[in-house]
Structures are given as C-alpha cells and as structure tokens.
Amino acid sequence: MKRKGRITVFKTGTKLAHVVWRKNKSIFAIAFFYMAAFAMGALLGILTPKMILDQVMNMHQEDIRKFLLLAGILFAGTALCEYISNDLSCRMQGKVTSVRLECLNDLLYKLMRCDYRYMEDASFWNTHQRAIAAPTGGETGIEFVVKESFFLLAEAALTILLVCMVGRQNFWIVLAVFCHIAGSLFVSGKVQKYQNSRAAEIGSKVRHLDYYKKTSENFQYGKDIRLYRLKDRILYHFKSEIVSYEGIIGAIARKKFLFGLVSMVTMLLSDCVTYGALILSALRGMSAANFVMYLSTVTVLSSMLKSVSGRISGIVKEGAAVKDYFAFMDTDFQEAKEIRAEVPEGAPEITLENLGFRYPNTDRYIFRNINLKIKPGESIALVGPNGAGKTTLIKVLTGLFDPAEGCVKINGKPTEGWEKASLYRMFSAVFQEIQILAFPLWINVALDEKGSRQRVEEILELVGLTEAVSGLPKGLDQPLLPVIEDDGVQLSGGEAQKVAIARALYKGGSIVILDEPTAALDPLAEAEIYEHFHQLTEGKTSVYISHRLASTRFCDKIAYFDGGCLKEYGTHSELMELHGLYYAMYREQSKYYQEDKEEL
C-alpha cells in the first residue's frame, strides 16, 4: 500500500515536470542557476566570520588594508550571490504562476466539452472540485509543488555540502543533528495525524460558523429575524458553535504541546553532542575561528534539514491535489460518437419509441415507456404536475442525456450514435432561467463573436426589441450586466426573455424547445411574449412545456404527463371531451375565470 503511494507520487511528479517542460522550459534553467547562487551565498555567509576572525586575531595595525580588502571581497561575493538568487527565485514565481493558470484554462475548456450527463452528476462535480483545487491557488496544488521543488533542489544541494563539511570535522555532530530532526519529524507527523483525525470536525464547525455569520449578517433574513424575534436563538447557537470550535482547536494545540516535549529532549541531546564535541576539539587545538564557524554551520545545517523535510512533506501533501488534477485531465468524459447528424431540410419528424430514463446508478425511472410521434411542423405541449419528468424528457430529446431504454428518432433515424455537437445544432431552446451573459447585447443573441450583426438586428426587430435597443446608449454593442463593464445594463425580465427568444431565432434550429419560458413574468409581460411564439415555431417542429394551460391549448397536440408516464394525448378539445386528468387540471386553473365569465 505504502509502496504504491510512493509510485503515484513519483508518477505525478514526472507528469508535472513534463507539463512544466512543455509550457515553459526556462524554469529548469533558472532552477539550476538558482541552486548555484543560493549554495554559494550560504557558504560565503558561513565562512565570513571565520575568515574575519582568522585575519584579525593574527594581525598588526599596519595590515588594516588587507583586512578591509578581505571584508570588501566577502561583501561583494555574498551580495552578488544573494542578489542573483533573489532575482531568479522571483522570475521563477512569475513563470510558475503562468503555467498554473494555463493548467486551469485547460481544465475549464475540458469541462465545457464533457458530455452533459456528467453535469447533473454530483460525483462528477466532486471529482471536478478536487481536480480544480490544484490549479486554483498560488499557495496550493500545482504552483506550490513546482515552487517548493525548485527551492528543495537548492536546499538539498546545500545540505549535502554542509553534511560533508561538518562530517569531516566530527561525524557524531551530524548524527545528533539528524536524530533531532528525525525526532521533530516524528512529532510533527504525529500532530499532523491527530489534526487529520479531527479535520472533518473542524471543517464542519467552520461551515456551521459560516452559516451563523452569513445568517446574522445577511440583510435578506433581517425581516424574519425581527418579525419572529429570532436574534437570541441565532446568537445562542452561534456562541455554542464558537465554544465547541475553540475546544477542538485547544485539543489539537494541547497534543502539539505534549508531543513537542519529545523534540525538546532530542534538541537537548543534539545540543549537548554539538557543544561537547566542539569544546573537545577546541581543547585539542581547534582555532577560535573554526569553532565559531562550525557552531554556525551546525545551526544552518539544522535549519536546512528542517526546511528540506518540511518541503518534502508539503510537496507530498499538495501532490495529492495535483494527482487529482491529472486524474481528471486524463479521464475521457466525452464519449466519442462517430456519426455526424444529418441536418434535416425543413421541420423534421420526431419519434419517441419506448423511451425510458433513469439517472445512472439509480433504480427509479424518471419516465418509462413513452411512445410519441411529433409530425414535421407540429407543435406539442407537455403538461402535468411538477416532478412528472417533463424537463428530463426534454433533456433526453435534445441529446443532453442518453436514454436508458428505447430511443429518440429524428426523421426515422435513432439519434443515439450521433456526434453531440452536430445533434445540438438542430435545436433552438428557450428555458425558464434566462442566462444573460456579460457580453455586448448582440453577442448575447448570436453567442458567437464572428456572428452577423445584421441578422441580429433583423431578429431583434422581429421580437420587438428594436425600440428598447435604440434606447440603450451603445445600441447593439451595449454591454449587459454590470459585472465586466460598469455601464453594463440589467435587462428587465420581459426583455431578457425576448433576448432568449432572439437567441433561439438566430440559431435557427429546426426543432424549437420552450421550457416554461414565462414562469417568472408578470401577466402583461407574459402576454407580450406569447405574441412572439408563432414567429419562433413557424415552420418548425416544436415542444412546449408550461404550467399555464391557457397558453398551451393552442398547440397542435397536448401530452399530459404524470408520474413518469404519458397519461393522455390529443388536441385540446379531444382531451377536454375525455374528461380526464387534463380536463381536471384545466378546469382547476380556469375556474376563477370561468366563474367570472358567468358573472359578466
């Protein structure tokens, strides 16, 4: 198990090195020169007091020039090395940030091309969440691992030099220092383990605290908090979460302290050996200068070892995130489909044959045994209570989801093997939630920067937005949403809905899908939108979902869904004569209006 872990660390490491090499080769050259400058600078720093002491202890007044020369040379050497190493390490950081951001881009682009079925799969998003952690932060994941490896290389080189230096003088000191570091590592490993064992608790406490912070600060809750006098209850829960969070942190701190006693003992031993050995050497004739030098060499060695081991464990830890990133990037989330869809001339015929769907890894069918034929140019309304599976049916119809059983046929040909992008091209869809994006108005319609402005203009005329557009200071180029540009305009619900219709018109797909497109609008805006529907559906095959039965009754056919089954099918008048479920629902909705009619 452990061995296996190591192999993946190694694999992830080589993979990352490969990616860095591909994206920016100069980082490797910088790493090499940095290593040289860093080690040189550190050595000069250690040698300085020794050389100065050597010089001054056996010197006469007249040698002052020599002394100054020596100090000057040492200064120049150290300063140069340190300048270079600082400069190089910063350059490296800029380049690593670039590499990391490019990795993030790669991931985002891949995400948008994954098959849609993953988009509604919570476990996919968990995988994605873990994968995106690696290229997201400057102090985590990819950037962290590359930077730390960079520094690790240089420090490891220096450490080897120092071990040789001290070891030649006295091997026991090296051993003692290693023991102390091993002791500290053992301790921090234990503490880390304990911390990990409580990490889930901490995570959940932090989330709880977040909730109370958000809730108490959030103005949206203000009305209810006041009207129902909830302040004290919230504060009571808030405070008790703080106390228990503090308790967990305290327990970890206590463990840290207790384990720390072990490293105190190893430190005591290592200090004893170091001072003891050096004192003995001095008694045997080591010079004062050397004594001082070795003392500081041991200090530097000890801190280097600590730093090196810290970096290694950091790299291993963050390497896990990098591994998740590569795992995501290497998985194929886009099933290869060979057949290019034939874009039909004019309105196509759609046939649903024994169509059934359930989410992967679930048993419950959302709908099943659906048989339905929509003739070319026909419009059909899907109605029924919430949760009947209407929206899911649309997703299967458009190919966003693949059917679990049965098939969807367009002009008699099953769509399942078709390449998604070419299948999607057939549909023009308007959904309830209009996704207005922070782009100029005309791009919001064309959804393509190379689109035709003229066509957009014609279509806006068609949907009745021309007047509204001419009222905007920048007309067609008016940025929408105040997110990117400060003068970004927020459209009203009705206008946004018209933009969505314009989008569908611009796309000109031969099948039109309307999924509750007016649910969020007030009655006047709703009525206005209805007027534009015929423009959308003219000469197209169309599918319309709505709760407002008044608006769906003009469709050629109506299909009533309940509990994942097609219950009733026919024209409005046919279904009304049937006196079934559709009839009941229609009466329910229209009864107030009907009563009213009688009154009049």
Q: Is 249 in the site for another protein (CB under 8 A)?
A: yes
Q: How far apart are the first and last CA of the chain?
A: 82
C-alpha span between 536 and 505 (Å, rounded)? 6
Pick one of 55, 127, 307, 313: the residue that binds another protein (CB under 8 A).
55
Phi-psi sector, 141: left (phi>0), alpha (psi -120 to 50), beta:
left
Only one of the segments 170-178, 332-340, 356-364, 590-598 lies at the binding site for another protein (rule: CB under 8 A); that segment is: 590-598
What would the two tokens of residue 315 be? 């790299």
Smallest distance from another protein to CB 229, Å: 4
8 A C-beta contact, residue 100 and residue 27: no
For residues 342 and 577, which CB has a smaller minimum distance to another protein in the complex?
A: 577
Only one of the segments 14-22, 159-167, 253-261, 361-369 lies at the binding site for another protein (rule: CB under 8 A); that segment is: 253-261
Smallest distance from another protein to CB 4, Å: 31
C-alpha span between 597 and 583 (Å, rounded)? 18
Only one of the segments 15-23, 164-172, 244-252, 458-466 lies at the binding site for another protein (rule: CB under 8 A); that segment is: 244-252
Q: Is 283 in the site for another protein (CB under 8 A)?
A: yes
Positions 419 through 458 that interact with another protein (CB under 8 A)? 420-421, 424-425, 427, 429, 431, 433, 435, 437-439, 443, 447-449
Smallest distance from another protein to CB 13, Å: 24
Positions 343 through 402 that interact with another protein (CB under 8 A)? 385-386, 395, 398, 400
Smallest distance from another protein to CB 366, Å: 16
Which value, to the nearest 10 degrees, does the dihedral of the CA atoms of residues 83, 163, 280, 293 take? -10
For residues 199 and 527, which CB has a smaller minimum distance to another protein in the complex?
A: 527
C-alpha span between 433 and 218 (Å, rounded)? 25
For residues 319 and 585, which CB has a smaller minimum distance to another protein in the complex?
A: 585
C-alpha span between 572 and 557 (Å, rounded)? 7
For residues 182 and 316, which CB has a smaller minimum distance to another protein in the complex?
A: 182
For residues 448 and 487, which CB has a smaller minimum distance to another protein in the complex?
A: 448
For residues 334 and 371, which CB has a smaller minimum distance to another protein in the complex?
A: 334
For residues 56 and 160, which CB has a smaller minimum distance to another protein in the complex?
A: 56
Positions 490 through 509 that interact with another protein (CB under 8 A)? 493, 503, 507
C-alpha span between 397 and 101 (Å, rounded)? 37
What would the two tokens of residue 543 be? 């599918």
Smallest distance from another protein to CB 512, Å: 12
C-alpha span between 335 and 330 (Å, rounded)? 14
C-alpha span between 454 and 440 (Å, rounded)? 15
Positions 66 through 125 that interact with another protein (CB under 8 A)? 67-68, 71-72, 74-75, 78-79, 82-84, 86-91, 93-95, 97-98, 101-102, 104-105, 108-109, 111-113, 116, 119-120, 125
Positions 180 through 239 that interact with another protein (CB under 8 A)? 204, 207-213, 215-217, 219-235, 237-239
Eight-class DSSP state of 256: H
Strand order through the sheet with 350-357: 367-374, 350-357, 405-410, 413-414
Positions 468 through 487 that interact with another protein (CB under 8 A)? 483-484
Torsion sign, CA atoms 194, 200, 201, 206: positive
Those residues with Cβ within 8 angstroms of residue 211's Cβ, 6 or more apart along the chain or in another chain: none
Give the DSSP H/E element, type plus range, for residue 264. helix 231-283
8 A C-beta contact, residue 276 and residue 268: no
Amino acid at 547: H
Positions 290 through 319 that interact with another protein (CB under 8 A)? 291-292, 295
8 A C-beta contact, residue 429 and residue 515: yes
C-alpha span between 48 and 77 (Å, rounded)? 10
Q: Is 510 in the site for another protein (CB under 8 A)?
A: no
Positions 122 through 141 that interact with another protein (CB under 8 A)? 125, 128, 132
The mark string for 531-560 relative to another protein (x by CB under 8 A, - otherwise) is ----------------xxxxx-x-------
> How many residues form the binding site for another protein (CB under 8 A)?
153
Positions 324 through 343 that interact with another protein (CB under 8 A)? none
C-alpha span between 123 and 11 (Å, rounded)? 25
